[in-house]
Amino acid sequence: MEKCTYCIQRIETAHIEADKANRRIRDGEVLTACQAACPTQAIRFGDIADVHSSVAQAKSSPRAYVMLGELNTRPRTSYLARLRNPNPALADEST
């Protein structure tokens, strides 16, 4: 078992290119392996310090949560809670 590297080699490739052009890494420039392989595009990766990046936008959603974030370990991976309606009676009202 190995810990996920967050595709450091892909980040570094983009990092070097960005450094050569003297700019930040653009949103979407780094595509992690899991992200590329995901058929439903459920995985997003990017710069959470850039508020306009798609990953920062998703992270600011009220559905976003992290695992054991209350321990102040500042986890890198956030999840989006699934939207479900456990009460079928309400489904009719919304339509």
Partner 1 sequence: MSAVLGDAASPALLARGQTHATVTAAISAISLHRRFGRYWLAGFAIALALCLLLVFGTGWLLHRGVGIWGINMPVAWAFAICNYVWWIGIGMGGTFISGALYLARKDWRSSINRYAEAMTVFAVAVSGIFPILHLGRPWFFYWLFPYPDVMNVWPQWRSSLEWDFFAIVAYLTVSILYWYVGMIPDLATLRDRAPTLGVARFYGLLALGWRGEARQWRRFETLSLLLAGLAVPLVFSVHSMVALDFSEALVPGWHSTVFPPFFVAGALFSGFAMVLVLGIPMRRMLGLRDYITDVHLANLAKVLLAAGLVVAYGYCTEIFSAFYSMDRFELAVTLRRMTGAYAWTFWGTILCNVLSIQLLWSARVRRNHAALFVIALLVLIGMWLERFMLIVTSLYQDFVPSSWGMYYPTFWDIAFLAGSLGLFLLMFLLFVRLLPVVSIFELRKLVHKGEVKST
Residues that bind partner 1 in the complex, under the rule CB under 8 A = 67-68, 71, 73
CA 16 from centre of chain = 22
Minimum CB–partner distance for residue 72 and partner 1 (Å): 8
Of 37, 4, 54, residue with least CA distance to 45: 54
Minimum CB–partner distance for residue 74 and partner 1 (Å): 12
68 or 83: CB nearest partner 1: 68
53 or 78: CB nearest partner 1: 78
Minimum CB–partner distance for residue 67 and partner 1 (Å): 8
The span from the CA of 54 to the CA of 46, in Å, is 7
The span from the CA of 88 to the CA of 22, in Å, is 54
